[in-house]
Structure 1
Amino acid sequence: MGPSAGVVPAALRVGTSPAAVVFARVRGGGPVTRDVLVESANLSAATVNRQVHALLEAGLVVERPDLVDGGGIGRPKVPLTLNHDGLAVAAMHIGARRTLLAIADLSGRTVHSHAVRTPTGAADAAVAELAGALAELVGRFSGRRFLWAGVAVGGDVDETTGTVDHPILGWRGAPVGAIVGATLGLPVSVCEHVQAMAAAELVLAPSLSAGRSSMYWYARETVGMALTLDGQVHVPSTGAGTVAHVPVQAPHFADVPGPVGLQQVIGSAALEAAATRTGFAPSSSTLLDERARALGEAIAAIGDAINPDTIIVAGDAFADHPRGLAPVQAAFDAARHLPHRLELTPTQFGLSVQEAAAVVVAASVIYADPLLALAG
């Protein structure tokens, strides 16, 4: 029996239960044998065998006798892999202008994705249209059993009810989780998108250490920040915080003299307004340099207070400068007050960061405790 449809808060963390640890090792290292799992998972052979048996029974993991090394000495050891072809999750990233729809297997690998224009107008109708588009995409993969749906979205997200306030889209109390869950007939998790992006780096990108602290910044049409501490994305009970108001000096983006909020230098509309006001082209070095400096100084101000081990950045505001991340790094270095140097690290997902955010929301509860997730 699988989980029933409904809204379930995303689990933006590295799973620590024995089942989660074994599942993660198979997900990251398969095909893998039981004896290798015992060594890599730091669990007893008996514990690993119990978890493997339960994961096989749940259909999350499959044995691959066709991959047995026939030339080995002693009893053959049957490798294990994820059930890549039989199971899937459905994911959606709702952006201010476009929405990304994706289907992924349990490794987090995207099987298919495409973008549609985010509908304008009444929230319920817009969400229903997007949910219908995702359901149509799910229907193309009728040979797979879908376990979960996930939605990453900007604005203020109530992860318990799946409702969203999105000022840019004009949504207030939009029942995103209820509509998507009912349309797809699946359990659904809804998460603030910058927190989801931070979780993707933590859960889908194996090179990052779960024990480190990191600060994640995203800047495209909006700007946001999330924190990861000890293998878990910090999700306040009152919702995500904001860095949109952080004061920066950006005179070409200001209507009046003095500092402006960071959000006022982020996004295509801000660039167009500054270009109209000043006569510079939106792609001019004058405006892009000023935006890069504002970003670097804002990150330094927050970074000095938090002092994370890693700072990860993503979004067009970081990537679109002709000299890449260098001017943001230079401004960050100049504004930083702590003695040790810290390199700003680009996201490992590049242009696919929104896709990764949506997929990790759809898979996060399964990753955190796969057997409990599927028990319903």
Structure 2
Amino acid sequence: MAVAGGNSAGAVLRAVLEQGVATRTAIARVAELSPATVTTQVRALVAAGLLIEHPETASPAGMGRPHSPLELNSAGNVVIGVHIAAEHVTVAVLDIAGTVRLTHRVPHPSLDPDAILDGAAAEVRRLRAELSERVIGLGVAVGGWVDSSAGAVVDHISLRWRNVAVRQYLSERTGLSVGLDSHTRALLHAEQLFGKAHNASATVALFAGNVIDVAFAVHGRVHYGPRSAAGAITRLAGGEAADAALIECTDRALVARARRESLAVSGIRDLIAAAGRDEAARELFKDRARVLGRVVAVLIDLLDPDAVVIVDPALVRVPGVRATYLDVVRRFSSCERPEEVVTGSSFIGRALETAAGTVVLQQLFTDPLAVVAAAAPVPPITAFNSE
């Protein structure tokens, strides 16, 4: 599994995730650990409630020593994810194998961060009260410039947020351990853990929504940069014209253009549905693919990745969009066979939920025992003190 970093407990947990049900011998081989280390870490992970050890069984055909298979305790451990988009919050529950159990959207009452975060916290508390499983933590994913270390949204153009201390706010109001990350970096972590970038050494993810941003990983390590600012592509091609072209690629811009062309759509989902039967609607998504395909071409020549994951629902749902992306990449990059490199998200229809939950799950599969230790709940407070 091409995920860099972490300790031996994390390596054991990732090996079990990869194999589904695994013996200690198989774990040692996949995780590249000694049998003694595997035994020690398995014991700790079982005690922590993250692994289940099944009764001892005989080897096939009665050959070799009996073994006790291990698997993730997905039934007993979940995370709650909050994705903050331009118009709504998505709150979801995922098990530790990355499966989305349930999801719910909460429209923004306004763009005021307190109002949005209050609504998210209330929904998290409601879900938490209904869950019988252990909640490992709360993951929060959002677009724009996100400083994961500081737990703050530094700048979000659509929401008009600057320096919003999201982690502290939600931690105090939910009583949960909270992680915060850019949704594109979180989705790249998810592709490494649960999806198509499973074995890739270098990967790029491009997110197309109400923000357009990028994440990349080299040798399995997702890059953040010293200011946690890696991934901004607004000025990638240079100049004000490039800025304007990318802004015109956002979901809101596409919907606005559709309405100017007399297409009766209420949002991006309606526009995607309309594109199945209306050529004018399809052409809007192809226009976006022509612009973002140039971005992908630059990134391919710059980073030479094994895989490029495009998180754009139109890629697979709107006829002709995938072909447009590939044609542009082929034309403007050195990649002669982009169909072997460029792919869609592994999480179509659940990308936002997966991004949010993976903020915690990525930490869990890096240092599981520390995450479980930090997951002990504290009573939430009803008022937030920013001082």
Quickly name the TM-score band, shorter chain normalised. 0.7 to 0.9
Task: State the partner residue of 1:213.
Answer: 202
Task: Give the alignment partner of residue 323 of structure 1, picking from 320, 323, 338.
Answer: 320
Task: State the partner residue of 2:337.
Answer: 341
Instruction: Give, in angstroms, the shift of residue 345 of structure 1.
Output: 1.1
Task: State the partner residue of 1:158.
Answer: 147
**Structure 2: how far apart are the matches of 1:361 and 1:62?**
23
User: How has the CA–CA distance of structure 1 residues 75 and 271 changed in structure 2, closer, same or farther, with 3 Å as cutoff?
Assistant: closer
Instruction: Give, in angstroms, the shift of residue 50 of structure 1.
Output: 0.8
2:69 corresponds to 1:79? yes
Unaligned segments of structure 2, at least 5 residues: 265-270, 375-387
Give the secondary-structure state (helix, strand or coil) at the position aligned to 1:351: coil
Residue deviations 1:61-100 (CA, integer Å, cap 9, x gap): 12122x8459863754222122222222111111112222
Contact 1:248–1:298 under 8 Å retained in 2: no
Instruction: Give, in angstroms, the shift of residue 228 of structure 1.
Output: 0.8
Task: Give the alignment partner of residue 130 of structure 2, picking from 140, 165, 176.
Answer: 140
> Percent of pairs identical after alignment?
30
Give the letter aligned to residue 215 of structure 1: V
Instruction: Give, in angstroms, the shift of residue 259 of structure 1.
Output: 5.6
User: How has the CA–CA distance of structure 1 residues 242 and 191 changed in structure 2, closer, same or farther, with 3 Å as cutoff?
Assistant: same
Task: State the partner residue of 1:174.
Answer: 164
Task: State the partner residue of 1:7.
Answer: none
Residue deviations 1:190-241 (CA, integer Å, cap 9, x gap): 001111111111122276215x111111112221111111111101121233
2:13 corresponds to 1:23? yes
User: How has the CA–CA distance of structure 1 residues 328 and 373 changed in structure 2, closer, same or farther, with 3 Å as cutoff?
Assistant: same
**Structure 2: how far apart are the matches of 1:267 and 1:320?**
17
Which stretch of structure 1 is more off in the superposition, 127-136 or 115-124? 115-124
C-alpha RMSD of the superposition: 2.8
Task: Give the alignment partner of residue 97 of structure 2, picking from 100, 107, 123.
Answer: 107
What pairs with 1:109-258 in structure 2 (closer than 5 Å)?
109-141=99-131, 143-164=132-153, 165-205=155-195, 208-210=198-200, 212-240=201-229, 241-247=231-237
Which stretch of structure 1 is more off in the superposition, 296-305 or 361-370? 296-305
Task: State the partner residue of 2:298.
Answer: 301
TM-score normalised by structure 2 residue count: 0.82
Instruction: Give, in angstroms, the shift of residue 155 of structure 1.
Output: 2.0
**Structure 1: how far apart are the matches of 2:284 and 2:162?**
33
User: How has the CA–CA distance of structure 1 residues 287 and 363 changed in structure 2, closer, same or farther, with 3 Å as cutoff?
Assistant: closer
TM-score normalised by structure 1 residue count: 0.84
Instruction: Give, in angstroms, the shift of residue 49 of structure 1.
Output: 0.7
Task: Give the alignment partner of residue 247 of structure 2, picking from 257, 264, 270.
Answer: 264
Give the secondary-structure state (helix, strand or coil) at the position aligned to 1:116: strand
Contact 1:244–1:262 under 8 Å retained in 2: no
Task: Give the alignment partner of residue 367 of structure 1, picking from 346, 365, 368.
Answer: 365
